[in-house]
Structure 1
Amino acid sequence: MAETAVTTTPRALPPGAFHAMTWGWTGVRGTWTSPAAKASMDAMTTVHPTWVVLAYAALQDTAQSTQIHWQDAPALTDDDVRSAVAQARSLGLKVCLKPTVNVADGTWRAHIGFFDRDVPGEPTWDEWFDSYDRYILHHARLAEELGAEMFAIGCELVRADAQEGRWRRLAARVREAYSGPITYNCDKYQEDRLTWWDAVDVISSSGYYPTGTWDQNLARIRAVAEQHAQEFVFLEAGCPSRDTSPQRPNDWSLPGTPDEQAQADYLEEMFTALAREPWVRGVALWDWPPELYPPSQAATNGDYCVYGKVGAAVVARHFADAGASTAV
């Protein structure tokens, strides 16, 4: 379902560095208002972010379900989100709200999909988008209430990406509810495949590119940003602290031995490559959980979070150095 592109003047990101940490995933009800959550966000400031991406998910039962249970536990309440935004403000951070959808049976959201043509008795794209639109529009209104500096209308919904007309209609409705810049967080390698970037203000993607491939992928993405004359950020990027992860940084389940230095070296490579590309406004690292592991367990923790690891110093240095050079 293609629609004619409508030219709009993009809403710009606020000036200054986009040095972001993704916080709070997956957004389980009640976990954002605990003392542990407050301590976690406070500790996050040691790596010098200027933004926080509040990422949270609602569940649908299977990849072919059409109802998203965004009002039901374990999904966050509005007050959970309000609490996290209030703390972020107290720490001087700009905020991006990123509601997304997960599949309860563990299927990756990229595989959510339906027949291209409706068949009687089978679930349809219209049914799914009807539920998804209600979810996203509710949180767009919440983003407006809270003065969030950016709002993401979706994340890594690869099969759904082809539903151009439906995304354009959703983006237009979000613009009526929310006055700030909107983005869509496409998956890795999808930046040059989306056909509706002009419907959002900021192009963003998940930059989980294998070690040794950053320059070639940045060259490909640069062409997209230049074609559309839009701002670009990596709304996700990072690498687990395992010896195998730099070769496949997107795979959180990849077996490997905990290795802080492997993560730190990957992050150094990534930041060095990004520093050569001034058209990249910045990066949101994945991720910083609402409840941190004890520092004594950092060396044996193989996840993305850099807390207490060698990689934390890499992030802090690059965020601080880039912040000094791009201060407005």
Structure 2
Amino acid sequence: MEMLWRAYFSLNSCYVYLKKNNHTTLISIFDYILIGFINHIAFKMRTIFTLLILTILYSCINSSKADQSQQSANNFSQNILSEKFKGMNYTGPGRGPLGTEPFSSMKEVGTNIVALVPEASLFQNNLKVVHDFEGQWYGETSTAILEGVKQAKEVGLKIMLKPHLEPGIDVSDWERPEVDFTDSLSIVEYGKSAKEFFNKVDIKVRKRTNWRGDLMAKNDDDWLLIANAYEQYILKYAVMADSINADAFCIGTELKVMALEKPDYWRSLIKKVRKIYKGPITYAANWDSFDQITFWDDLDFIGIDAYFPLSDNKTPQVEELLISWQPVKDRIEKLQRKVGKPIVFTEWGYESEDYAGKTPWGSEGEVNIETQVNLYESTFQSFWDESWFLGVFIWRWSPPNELGSSYNFTPRGKQTETVIKEWFNKE
């Protein structure tokens, strides 16, 4: 019995010593204890104590590896968050491949990180979350995302994965009529059939919507269906983020009602993502509710899709816009001080149209490059030099086949591109 107690205390002392001394003398300690037991314990007992010693040593080593892994993850997060994000959102073309050109052209204006945007649809009539379906926009498929990762890394861009969820309708039960798009009567009949189908669809979400921020279940059972399906979608891309060594990961975008009503769900999802992906994590909150989110403390930086209305004028001037930005900036800075996390505009941009500052999420007007330029310039002047402001992801950089279009968000090929280049390359 005395010998067993000695064995116990020897092993315990070994464990404490190894923890304190970071295992620098593992082999010599192991040999010392093992020889001591061989000299004092019968042969049959030797195997038991040897296994016990090995078990304790294994536990010590794995504990150290876990600590080192967590420290490595923390260092990784601190490193990526130490440099301003000069980012672009990129959704790619409707058809593949992506090619290198979009990424090299981003790099030329000073971009250092790209947000690649896979997209899934939540069918409002059966609550299924579907991704990589036939006919999907190519740039938002998993195949395109992996292609984008390769192309972005080749030109030296960092990567954030930013999965989106869009409301949709499952049309598999629609008996579509044949349509001849050169025949106006055929097109009318096709449209009539579509309208009848959509009007008869039984909607299972709280309300029929075209915006992701409104998506929410009618009851608890249906919420579980949505929650589980969305979790599987996000964890799939968390695995991808880990496998490609992504520099950041966004767990959701503008899911306003879901984020405000189900904060515990998001906290749980964040924990599950962190078990897979060790880099910085954020959520992209809509501009009208960013300071109502209650789980910012579980994330690494505060993401805002910054489509704040700033002016009712057709062509607002920079001076006017700077004044309009000030109360918004005060709100953002108040949240930043409260949470202690840096701010990133995970989406931000304007169409090159009249009144783009009135409804920045979508405008209807004539081409107006000056409006887009002034909106960009005023935002950079308001935020870029603040120490708590970590940067932007512009919505959005366009593929080459969209260069001729002025009626869209892209700054590419417009005077706005010069503004971006000046600020992205500012010392």
Q: Same fold (TM over 0.5)?
A: yes
After superposition, residues 217-232 of structure 1 pair within 5 angstroms as 217-232=328-343
Deviation at 1:21, TM superposition (A): 0.7
After superposition, residues 55-66 of structure 1 pair within 5 angstroms as 55-62=117-124, 65-66=126-127
After superposition, residues 3-152 of structure 1 pair within 5 angstroms as 11-12=77-78, 14=80, 15-24=82-91, 30-31=95-96, 33-35=97-99, 38-62=100-124, 65-73=126-134, 74=136, 76-104=140-168, 107-115=210-218, 117-118=219-220, 124-152=222-250
* 1:189 paired residue number: 288
1:240 aligns with 2:351: yes
Deviation at 1:291, TM superposition (A): 4.3
- 1: CA distance between counterparts of 2:349 and 2:141? 28
> Any conservation in 1 of the 2:398–2:412 contact (CA below 8 Å)?
no
Alpha-carbon deviations, 1:210-245, whole Å to 9, x = none?
233322111101111111111221101011000111
Decide whether aligned partners of structure 1 residues 236 and 90 sit closer, same or farther in structure 2, where only a CA change above 3 A counts. same
Deviation at 1:247, TM superposition (A): 1.9
Residue 214 of structure 1 aligns to which amino acid in structure 2?
A: W
* 1:314 paired residue number: 419
- 2: CA distance between counterparts of 1:77 and 1:188? 27
Deviation at 1:90, TM superposition (A): 1.2
Deviation at 1:61, TM superposition (A): 2.2
Structure 1 stretch displaced more, 102-111 or 277-286: 102-111
* 1:272 paired residue number: 381
Structure 1: state its 5+ residue gaps.
1-8
TM-score normalised to structure 2 length: 0.66
> Any conservation in 1 of the 2:121–2:165 contact (CA below 8 Å)?
yes
* 1:258 paired residue number: 367
Residue 240 of structure 2 aligns to which amino acid in structure 1?
A: L
Residue 318 of structure 1 aligns to which amino acid in structure 2?
A: W
> Any conservation in 2 of the 1:263–1:311 contact (CA below 8 Å)?
yes
* Identity over aligned pairs, percent: 26
- 1: CA distance between counterparts of 2:265 and 2:258? 9
TM-score normalised to structure 1 length: 0.85
Alpha-carbon deviations, 1:261-280, whole Å to 9, x = none?
11011100110001353211
Alpha-carbon deviations, 1:155-183, whole Å to 9, x = none?
00011012011111111000001010100
Structure possessing the higher relative contact order (Cα contacts under 8 Å, 6 or more residues apart): 1
**Cα RMSD after superposing both structures:** 2.0
Larger CA Rg, structure 1 vs 2: 2
More strand by share: 1
* 1:204 paired residue number: 303
- 2: CA distance between counterparts of 1:44 and 1:218? 27
* 1:158 paired residue number: 256
Decide whether aligned partners of structure 1 residues 114 and 200 sit closer, same or farther in structure 2, where only a CA change above 3 A counts. same
SS of the aligned residue for 2:330 comes to helix
Deviation at 1:201, TM superposition (A): 1.4
Decide whether aligned partners of structure 1 residues 227 and 94 sit closer, same or farther in structure 2, where only a CA change above 3 A counts. same
Decide whether aligned partners of structure 1 residues 139 and 281 sit closer, same or farther in structure 2, where only a CA change above 3 A counts. same
* 2:270 paired residue number: 171
More helix by share: 2
Alpha-carbon deviations, 1:119-174, whole Å to 9, x = none?
xxxx6211101000000000000000001000000000011012011111111000
Decide whether aligned partners of structure 1 residues 236 and 77 sit closer, same or farther in structure 2, where only a CA change above 3 A counts. closer
- 1: CA distance between counterparts of 2:152 and 2:254? 25
1:303 aligns with 2:408: yes
- 1: CA distance between counterparts of 2:116 and 2:142? 13
SS of the aligned residue for 1:247 comes to coil
Structure 2: state its 5+ residue gaps.
1-73, 170-208, 311-320
> Any conservation in 1 of the 2:307–2:349 contact (CA below 8 Å)?
yes
> Any conservation in 2 of the 1:13–1:149 contact (CA below 8 Å)?
no
- 2: CA distance between counterparts of 1:266 and 1:78? 33
